[in-house]
Chain A
Amino acid sequence: MAKTVLIVDDHPSFRASARRMLEADGYEVVGEAEDGGAALVAAQQLRPELVLLDVRLPDVDGFEVAKRLLDASGPAPQIVLISSHDSADLGEAVGASGARGFVPKSELSAEAIALLIR
């Protein structure tokens, strides 16, 4: 069965490309959210198995969203953080967030995600 995904990013053309890439690799994209607040609501309703989560969002930052997703009741999704910054800019915050890992947007591919969530 295909893995369900929620894409969280404030930029529509990036969300569109990510959706195309994931669907081409057999994922089922069940929803998109453009900020942290919408992401928490969507995750509660859609119960995705995977959340592709941008670090820099207009309202709260991605690390905070990750923490709240993992703290919420019910089965917690797997989280992969993405950003246009590279991992050196983000430091230890990725490890502390409880996410499966981090992929720079410039290197984002289905294989890179598969390596983290397997």
Chain B
Amino acid sequence: MTRPRRPLIGLAVFAFVIGIGTFLVVINGGHNTHRGAYAGLTLAIGWGFTGTGLYVWRRRPGNNIGPLMTAVGFSGFLKALAFSNDSVVFTIGSLGEVLIYAVLVHLLLSFPSGRLESRLDRLLVAVGYFNTIVIQLAAFVFADPAKEGCALCPANPLLITHSHAARVMSAAQLDIAVALLGAVVAVLYRRWRGGTPSQGRAFAPVVAVGSLTFVVLMTALIAEQADLSSNVAYVLSLALFGSIACLPVAFLLGLLRSRFSQAEAISSLVGQIGGGGGRGALREALAEALGDPSLQVAYWVPDQGAYVDTEGRPMRLDPPPEGKIATTIEHEGRRVAAIVHAAELEERRELVRTVGAAAAMTLRNERLDAELRAKVTELQASRYRIVQAGYEQRRRLERDLHDGAQQRLMALGINLRLVRDLIAREPEQAVELLGASLHELGEATAELRELARGIHPAVLTNRGLEAAIKGLASRSPVPVEVLETPEDRLPSSIESAVYFVVAEALTNAARYARAHRVTVSVVRHNGNVHVEVSDDGVGGADVEHGSGLRGLQDRVAALEGRLELASAAGEGTVLRARIPCG
């Protein structure tokens, strides 16, 4: 993120000049009393807010708090223009006189994230702006300052006609303001109580001074309605401006405190994780340290190339969940975990990394734990699938036997009994029937042979992978080129897995991929057997869909191997298997 340094310096110079200007306007204002005090407070508020605001703006460019504080400062200067003797400047000041309160409401409800998080917040802020801009203007065009008891005020150039409507609208404006301020104080209080302890400590000064300001403002507004003596009104407005002037200090203090509590959070984090506390304790500690109760920890499992949670269940972080950000934590240059935290913490990613680094050792240990749990979960699932696949296979076998060879043998039995009955009486018909029976027997034998090969190919046992794969290739309806096969025999479990990988890939190429050509290679390299079957078909295959590939994956995984499928739509399919082989 770039830091808008230049424009900020420009704004600071502008605020300085405008501060001097408004100071002179107030001190020379002909229609007000206590000008010295007001001039001083105007400077304190205007410079206090613009100065602090621009500082925060520079330090946290992504956060709206800086710009909002600066806006409060400038609306303080705007308000002071109402002291002017010049009719135009006076009018501008009078129109913008109460805008500062709406911006203050906006600022306090946005603290500390800089965003209005809830619908209620946005509603309150909208009401504030409506009340201080629209109603203010509407009332002003019907108010003649001279007839409102300010004989020394300059003329109102926007005056349409002096009307009772001005009074009615001003009274409504006051009622709305009092209700709004009450609601804002309640929201602030609830927010302060609802945060984590460290958040609460950072919020406390801002919430306290902010609420005090609004309570004083409410009192002043109610007093204005009650038409109290000018002395009481003066004291109340001094108190009001005084507490507004204190607000920037409260914001600074809040920011300072949040920095101190970061340091404390890290030391408490280190203390907590040192003491153990079992699964999930680290997550709790991190959530407390970073002030994000919804924080999650995702552990990186290099074998699976994926993240898992504390229970070893897979977690998808690409993309991260709605409104969340994942910050990767490394230990000794290797990815260990990711902290999944609220997007509000984005501009404090450094802090997340710092806290993560402090916890990296523990994260590494918990990662191993989570990895183990992930492995157990996967093993349980694959064990279930293997049992299920075995059951499925036996069922299919029974059905194939029943529908195929068994039916043919039954028919053969009937034929032979018929031959026995016919042979004496009608030898010609019997011979014809014997021919049909022999054909039936041939078919039954072929079906049995095919079935037996599906269970375990004898050629593989007797003559090895090369002969078995060439046999598969010659029976494939799609032309197959066998590029390479190992010369030496491999352990039978590995030969069998390789054979079925090739068989499944060839079946899929012919049945689904509409391929024209397939190449097969089986290479032994660096203690692994690498199988690769690629076709030029339509692609789009997926391990998750199709029990054949899933079953192969389990078969390969049972030998500590890995099965990979690359099958983008329109780009053919490549099935690769790597199986460790002593």
**How distant is the Cα of A21 from the Cα of B406 in the complex, in angstroms?**
18
Give the Cβ gap from B14 to chain A, nearest Cβ, in Å: 87
Query: A72 in the interface, Cβ–Cβ < 8 Å?
Result: no
Query: A84 in the interface, Cβ–Cβ < 8 Å?
Result: yes
Could you tell me if A24 and B418 are in contact, using CB atoms closer than 8 angstroms? yes
Give the Cβ gap from B19 to chain A, nearest Cβ, in Å: 92
Residues of chain B with a CB closer than 8 A to A14's CB: 407-408, 410-411, 414
Query: B259 in the interface, Cβ–Cβ < 8 Å?
Result: no
Could you tell me if B408 and A108 are in contact, using CB atoms closer than 8 angstroms? no
Mark out the residues of chain A between 29 and 85 whose CB falls within 8 Å of any chain B CB in the assembled complex.
Answer: 56, 84
Could you tell me if A13 and B411 are in contact, using CB atoms closer than 8 angstroms? yes
Residues of chain A with a CB closer than 8 A to B440's CB: 13, 17
Give the Cβ gap from A107 to chain B, nearest Cβ, in Å: 8
Query: B421 in the interface, Cβ–Cβ < 8 Å?
Result: yes
Could you tell me if A84 and B402 are in contact, using CB atoms closer than 8 angstroms? yes
Contact of B413 among A16, A56, A106 (CB under 8 A): A106
Could you tell me if A16 and B402 are in contact, using CB atoms closer than 8 angstroms? no
Give the Cβ gap from A51 to chain B, nearest Cβ, in Å: 17
Look across to chain A and name the residue whose beta carbon is closest to the beta carbon of B420: A109
Given contacts A13-B440, A56-B402, is CB(A21)–CB(B410) below 8 Å?
no
Give the Cβ gap from B447 to chain A, nearest Cβ, in Å: 11
Residues of chain A with a CB closer than 8 A to B227's CB: none
Query: B233 in the interface, Cβ–Cβ < 8 Å?
Result: no
**How distant is the Cα of A86 from the Cα of B115 in the complex, in angstroms?**
78
Query: B12 in the interface, Cβ–Cβ < 8 Å?
Result: no
Residues of chain A with a CB closer than 8 A to B406's CB: 84
Could you tell me if A106 and B410 are in contact, using CB atoms closer than 8 angstroms? yes
Could you tell me if A109 and B417 are in contact, using CB atoms closer than 8 angstroms? yes
Interface size bucket, A side?
Answer: 10 to 19
**How distant is the Cα of A11 from the Cα of B402 in the complex, in angstroms?**
10
Mark out the residues of chain B between 396 and 452 whose CB falls within 8 Å of any chain A CB in the assembled complex.
Answer: 402-403, 406-408, 410-415, 417-418, 421-422, 433, 440, 443
Residues of chain A with a CB closer than 8 A to B411's CB: 11, 13-14, 16-18
Look across to chain B and name the residue whose beta carbon is closest to the beta carbon of A20: B418
Contact of A21 among B408, B412, B418 (CB under 8 A): B418
Given contacts A56-B402, A84-B402, is CB(A11)–CB(B407) below 8 Å?
yes
Contact of A11 among B403, B412, B413, B422 (CB under 8 A): B403
Query: A105 in the interface, Cβ–Cβ < 8 Å?
Result: yes
* Per-position 1/0 for A1-35, Cβ under 8 A of B: 00000000011011011101100100000000000
Residues of chain B with a CB closer than 8 A to A11's CB: 403, 407, 411
Mark out the residues of chain B between 235 and 260 whose CB falls within 8 Å of any chain A CB in the assembled complex.
Answer: none
Give the Cβ gap from B308 to chain A, nearest Cβ, in Å: 45
Look across to chain A and name the residue whose beta carbon is closest to the beta carbon of B440: A13
Could you tell me if A20 and B415 are in contact, using CB atoms closer than 8 angstroms? yes
Residues of chain A with a CB closer than 8 A to B407's CB: 11, 13-14, 84, 105
**How distant is the Cα of A56 from the Cα of B403 in the complex, in angstroms?**
10
* Per-position 1/0 for B381-406, Cβ under 8 A of A: 00000000000000000000011001
Could you tell me if B403 and A108 are in contact, using CB atoms closer than 8 angstroms? no
Give the Cβ gap from A71 to chain B, nearest Cβ, in Å: 28
Give the Cβ gap from B309 to chain A, nearest Cβ, in Å: 47
Residues of chain B with a CB closer than 8 A to A105's CB: 407, 410, 413-414
Look across to chain B and name the residue whose beta carbon is closest to the beta carbon of A56: B402
**How distant is the Cα of A16 from the Cα of B415 in the complex, in angstroms?**
10
Look across to chain B and name the residue whose beta carbon is closest to the beta carbon of A105: B410
Residues of chain B with a CB closer than 8 A to A17's CB: 410-412, 414-415, 418, 440
Give the Cβ gap from A82 to chain B, nearest Cβ, in Å: 9
**How distant is the Cα of A7 from the Cα of B407 in the complex, in angstroms?**
15
* Per-position 1/0 for A75-117, Cβ under 8 A of B: 0000000001000000000000000000001101100000000
Residues of chain B with a CB closer than 8 A to A106's CB: 410, 413
Give the Cβ gap from A112 to chain B, nearest Cβ, in Å: 10
Residues of chain B with a CB closer than 8 A to A10's CB: 403
Look across to chain A and name the residue whose beta carbon is closest to the beta carbon of B432: A20
Residues of chain A with a CB closer than 8 A to B413's CB: 105-106, 108
Give the Cβ gap from A57 to chain B, nearest Cβ, in Å: 11
Residues of chain A with a CB closer than 8 A to B402's CB: 56, 84
**How distant is the Cα of A17 from the Cα of B410 in the complex, in angstroms?**
9
**How distant is the Cα of A84 from the Cα of B407 in the complex, in angstroms?**
7
Residues of chain B with a CB closer than 8 A to A16's CB: 411
Look across to chain A and name the residue whose beta carbon is closest to the beta carbon of B433: A20
Give the Cβ gap from A1 to chain B, nearest Cβ, in Å: 22
Could you tell me if B408 and A13 are in contact, using CB atoms closer than 8 angstroms? yes
**How distant is the Cα of A86 from the Cα of B418 in the complex, in angstroms?**
21
Give the Cβ gap from B202 to chain A, nearest Cβ, in Å: 73
Give the Cβ gap from A115 to chain B, nearest Cβ, in Å: 15
Could you tell me if A84 and B410 are in contact, using CB atoms closer than 8 angstroms? yes
Given contacts A56-B402, A84-B402, is CB(A108)–CB(B410) below 8 Å?
yes
Look across to chain B and name the residue whose beta carbon is closest to the beta carbon of A107: B413
Residues of chain A with a CB closer than 8 A to B433's CB: 20
Residues of chain B with a CB closer than 8 A to A24's CB: 418, 421-422
Could you tell me if B414 and A21 are in contact, using CB atoms closer than 8 angstroms? yes
**How distant is the Cα of A16 from the Cα of B433 in the complex, in angstroms?**
11
**How distant is the Cα of A11 from the Cα of B404 in the complex, in angstroms?**
8
Look across to chain A and name the residue whose beta carbon is closest to the beta carbon of B414: A17
Residues of chain B with a CB closer than 8 A to A13's CB: 407-408, 411, 440, 443
**How distant is the Cα of A109 from the Cα of B417 in the complex, in angstroms?**
8
**How distant is the Cα of A10 from the Cα of B485 in the complex, in angstroms?**
43
Look across to chain B and name the residue whose beta carbon is closest to the beta carbon of A16: B411
* Per-position 1/0 for B266-305, Cβ under 8 A of A: 0000000000000000000000000000000000000000
Look across to chain A and name the residue whose beta carbon is closest to the beta carbon of B443: A13
**How distant is the Cα of A24 from the Cα of B426 in the complex, in angstroms?**
11
Given contacts A11-B403, A56-B402, A84-B402, is CB(A109)–CB(B410) below 8 Å?
no
Look across to chain B and name the residue whose beta carbon is closest to the beta carbon of A10: B403
Could you list some 13 contacts between A and B, CB below 8 A? Answer: A11-B411, A13-B440, A17-B415, A17-B440, A21-B417, A21-B418, A24-B421, A24-B422, A84-B402, A84-B407, A84-B410, A105-B413, A109-B414
A17-B412, A105-B407, A105-B410 known, 6 other contacts, Cβ within 8 Å: A11-B411, A14-B408, A17-B418, A20-B414, A84-B410, A109-B414
